[in-house]
């Protein structure tokens, strides 16, 4: 595993991925850095399906190992929404300040024990020989009463982790990666790839 291409267009994910998987001797390229344009349509209904769709679309254009991340925020009070549609919730180009405020408004007056939520991340790998693997990671938390913090990306300012008493946007990247859905799924994938000698 000397080179891998990550099938994502999300720079926030890419930063975390480099921090979690990075080691001397391993080149990690985003699909853009690899010069690959993906035509993946994320039309699956599960994180697993969409992660595989993204990984396969890039793998079809390279001989390198390809990984992809499909992730999202499940809010129990909203019946699991936005879930697999997290990036598209209220429109892909709508700023997260607006999306986050909308969620805070939808949960106005809802008591803490009903504000439970989780981030979910599925990592898919497509190996040069065609084998495919997926791993999953989650982090449980609650939707806060206000946006807090500047770190991370997306919904991080409204996602509070009880053991840290703050939002994931208030954690350092190192702290977030240690406990996050993405950190867990990527470390599990590292083990899988080691086992299959990829």
Ligand X SMILES: O=c1[nH]c(=O)c2ncn([C@@H]3O[C@H](COP(=O)(O)OP(=O)(O)OP(=O)(O)O)[C@@H](O)[C@H]3O)c2[nH]1
- List active site positions: 70
Q: Is 43 annotated as a binding residue?
A: no
Q: Is 12 annotated as a binding residue?
A: yes
Q: Where are the beta strands (DSSP E) in the chain?
A: 3-6, 27-30, 65-75, 81-82, 116-126, 132-143, 159-161, 166-167
Tell me the window of 21-29, 64-72, 107-115, 190-198 that interacts with ligand X (CB under 6 A).
64-72
**Residue that has been written with the tokens 């408004």 in this structure:** 105
C-alpha to C-alpha distance for 117 and 73, rounded to whole angstroms: 7
Q: Would you tell me which residues interact with Mg ion (CB under 5 A)? A: 87
Q: Is 114 annotated as a binding residue?
A: no
Q: Is 10 annotated as a binding residue?
A: yes
C-alpha to C-alpha distance for 107 and 87, rounded to whole angstroms: 19
Count of other CB atoms within 10 angstroms of residue 48: 17
Q: State the DSSP code for 31.
A: T
Q: Which does residue 177 touch among ligand X, Mg ion, none (CB within 5 to 8 A, set by kind)? A: none
Letters for 18-57 (x = contact with ligand X by CB under 6 A, - = none) are: ------------------------x-----------x---
Instruction: Return the number of the residue (12 or 80) whose C-beta is nearest Mg ion.
Output: 12
Cβ–Cβ < 8 Å for 169, 156: yes
Tell me the window of 2-10, 20-28, 101-109, 126-134 that interacts with ligand X (CB under 6 A).
2-10
The residues, ordered by sequence, that sit 6+ positions from 118 with a Cβ below 8 Å of its Cβ are 73, 74, 138, 139, 140, 141, 181
Annotated binding site for Mg(2+): 41, 70
Annotated binding site for substrate: 8-13, 71, 153-156, 176, 181-182
Contacting residues toward ligand X, per CB under 6 A = 8-10, 13, 42, 54, 69-73, 86-87, 119, 152-156, 180, 182
């Amino acid at each position: 595993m000397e080179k891998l291409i990550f099938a994502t267009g999300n720079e926030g994910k890419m930063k975390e991925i480099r921090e979690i998987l990075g080691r001397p001797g391993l080149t990690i390229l985003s699909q853009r850095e690899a010069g690959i344009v993906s035509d993946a349509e994320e039309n699956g209904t599960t994180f697993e399906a969409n992660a595989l769709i993204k990984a396969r679309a890039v793998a079809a254009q390279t001989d390198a190992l390809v990984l992809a991340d499909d992730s999202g925020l499940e809010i129990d009070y909203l019946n699991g929404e936005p879930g697999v549609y997290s990036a598209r919730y209220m429109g892909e180009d709508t700023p997260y300040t607006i999306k986050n405020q909308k969620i805070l408004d939808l949960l106005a007056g809802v008591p803490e024990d009903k504000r439970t939520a989780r981030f979910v991340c599925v990592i898919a790998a497509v190996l040069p020989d065609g084998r495919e693997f997926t791993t999953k990671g989650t982090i449980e938390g609650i939707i806060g009463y206000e946006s807090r913090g500047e770190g991370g990306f997306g919904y991080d300012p409204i996602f509070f982790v009880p053991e840290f008493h703050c939002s994931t946007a208030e954690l350092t990247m190192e702290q977030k990666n240690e406990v996050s859905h993405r950190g867990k799924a990527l470390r599990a994938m590292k083990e899988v790839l080691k086992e299959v000698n990829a």
